[in-house]
Each structure stands twice: as C-alpha cells, then as structure tokens.
Amino acid sequence: MDEQQEMLCELWAEEQVEIKPRSRLYHIEPIGMGSPMVESLTSYITRLAEAHSVPLHKLFLQEILPHLNIVKGDYTVPKYLTSFWRNSSALNGVSDLASNQVHVLEQLTLRSDLRFLTMLIWGDVLPSKGLIRRTRAWCPSCYEEWRNSNQVVYEPLIWALEVVTTCPKHHQELHLCCPYPDCRHVQFHFTSRYLSGYCSWCRRWLGSYACNKAEYPAILGNEENYQEWVYKMIGEMLSAAPNLPAPPLKSNITVVFGECVNRLTGGNLLAFTHQIQVTFKSIWTWNRGQQIPTMENLLNICYRCGISPLSFIIGDKDKIKFSFIDSTSKDAAVNSTRKNHRKFEADHVRSVLLSVLQNPEDPPPSMNEVARRLGYDYSQIQVKFPDLCKAISAKCFQVRDAER
C-alpha cells in the first residue's frame, strides 16, 4: 500500500453499521391496514404459510404452537389441532386465544401492528357473544375481481363479524357455504388443507362464476340500506383502530348510554326501552354499567339515536342527536332478514346425512355440526330424518366416550 492510500485510510470515517434483528417468520405486510377492508388475523396466518411454502398445519405445529405452551398432559397435539381448527374464528375476536396468538406472531415476525387484524382493541367495550361468526363468510364477486386483477385473495376482518351479512359493493349476501350442490360444506377459518378462495372440502373455486345467482339473490330495499349503514359504521371503527391513542374503556359506554337516555327521554328508562325495542332488563344493566351491549344491540342503539358506534365507544357525547331518527326502515330490514328462510331441500339433506354415515370422518361430526354445514336448524333436520340424526349422534358420542 503506498503512502497516499495509507493517508486515505486514516481519513476514512469509521461508522458503526447497525445490524437489524432478523425475524423468524417473514415480515409480510398485512393487507388493508387502517381501512375498512383490513385483513383478518386468520387470513394473515394462512398467507404466512403460503409465503413460506408450507402447509398451514406445519407452520402452526412447528413455529407457533411451541411458543403458546398450551398442550399439556395427555391432551395430545392431534386432539388439540382438531379443536383448534374448529374454534379458529376466535383468533379474530377479543379472547385470550387471540391475544396470545398476536403476541407470539408479533415476536416471530417482528411486527407490532397485528392486533389491529383482530377486534382486541375493542375488548373492553364489546363482549365476545355475537361478535365473530364461527365459520367463514365471503363475497364471491370480490374473490373474482381480486383474482382477475392479480390481487391477493384474502379474508377481510369485516366479513368475520356476525352483524355484517352483505357486500355493499356488489349488493349481494355474503356466502356461508360452498355453492356446489354436491358439497355445500361450511368453511372454517383454518383447516389443514386451507387455500385462499377455495373450498377446503372439494377444493373448487368459490368465486362468482361458481355460484347460482337464483339461489343467492341480490338484496333490495330497506335491508340493503341498513346493511350499507352497518358496513360503513364497522368500517369506520376498523379504519380508526390503528390511530386510537389507547383502547376504549367500558366506562365510555356507560357515560354515553346514560347521556342518550337523558337527552332523548329525560332519563325515563321505560320510554327509552320502547324506542330502542330492547328488553327493560338489558337497558337497566347497560345504564348501571353492569353489562355492555353486544355488537348487534350497540348498532341498534346507535342507529336509532343518530350516533356512530365509534363516537359512542370512544365517549363522544356531542355526536348524539336530540331526537330519535325514523327507525321504520331498520325494523323492516330486521323483519325481512328473519323471514328470509331457505327452502328445505330434503333430497340433498338425506344424501349428506347418508354420506356422513357411510364415509366416517375423524373425529365424526356432531349433528349440530352437520346442520351448520347444511345451513339449516338442527330441529328442521331432526323432524324430517329422526333415524339418520340419531345414528350420527350415536357415532359421535361413541367416539367421545372412548377418548375419555
């Protein structure tokens, strides 16, 4: 090295290069963060598995489960997984399971925003009852649009909420089971064979061209108007979640609810009960802060009092209107929804029941589970096919007794 090179080396400023920590799992970006269509946590986990080119159950067993420390004693991994797949919807809600899963995934991916893919931030102001539906719901037209435009097919958190039943963009009901007549299975949020946009049972595409438009008619009139309002209000909450300075407190609900009663009925709980059309016992417990309204009841109150759920939850009393708005359209929508029963397809139901008996699953499903797959009440099926129902239930109980 000559003298000039030695001089340049002496003048070179020594800088410490910061080595950033590496995440165990890919640091992939959640879809739609801070928007009404933010991705759900279950969808994010399935995309993590796809990004790592491994089946979902392997990602869970090898990377996530060891950090949860929940499989103990004789409660074996297969038994745990079976239960976990069926109850995976809770990961999108406000339960401890969702909190633990978020904590582990944030450690593994080195992200700090995964809680906003769940309803955890609303855990103190929304009860788990009636919040998250147990199985997937989707808009097939959204699926089709995303695939045709080369966008990622995923599951928005808003579709996981029980109160959301329609897609306002395409003016149609969200689908709850596979549209193919020879399948008709409901779709769980997690299965070992999960693939975004496809049926976990028959592996066929769930997009719009797979659907029978006559079986899933477009929604019209009052029901559509109310559902559009619900979609807008829930979307406002999901969009605001990442920017809230702190999780809303239960005391906000009590304060704003009491203000609604005072402003609109002069503190008369019985008059408020008649206007809101909820039982007096519920109104009494909400007013005293002993309980908090479910999401459905919260939307009912907010719709009739002219205040957004977000303003209600964060304690913004100034947004309350001084008179009840006309709730005729809302009542009509509720009544329309309650009367919208699907025709009982006896031949299809019989074939599914026989298939369950002839092609045993591991573990065998209960009759309640079979009824959910078919989209009917258990009582409807039991009246028509009591012997088949009894046989399926007996097989399920037999296996459960053997496992004890």
Domain residue ranges of the chain, discontinuous segments joined by +: 25-216, 237-333, 346-355+366-403
Q: What is the pLDDT of residue 348?
A: 82
What whole-number distance in Å separates Cα of residue 330 and Cα of residue 257? 20
Whether the model pTM is above 0.85: no
Say yes or no to pLDDT of 308 above 60.
Answer: yes
CA distance 173 to 282: 30
Residue for token pair 């944030």: 106
Rounded to an integer, the average pLDDT of 309-330 is 72
The 10s digit of each residue's pLDDT in 98-128 is 999 999 999 999 999 999 999 999 999 999 9
66 vs 14, 60, 80, 86, 105, CA distance in Å?
42, 9, 13, 20, 12
Burial of 118 (0-12, 13-18, 19+ CB in 10 A): buried
pLDDT over 90 (residue 29): yes
Write down the architecture of domain 237-333 according to CATH.
Orthogonal Bundle (1.10)
pLDDT (tens digit per residue) in 211-259: 544 444 444 456 678 888 999 999 999 999 999 999 999 998 888 998 8
The pLDDT mean for the chain works out to 81
More confident residue, 219 or 347: 347
Task: Work out the pLDDT band at 196, boundaries 50, 70, 90.
Answer: confident
Cβ contacts of residue 157 below 8 Å, gap of 6+?
38, 39, 40, 41, 92, 117, 118, 119, 238
* Strand, coil or helix: 381: helix
Among 11, 99, 25, smallest CA distance to 58 is for 25
Nearest Cα neighbor of 276 from 309, 313, 302 is 302
Q: Which residues sit opposite 172 in a β-bridge?
A: 167, 218
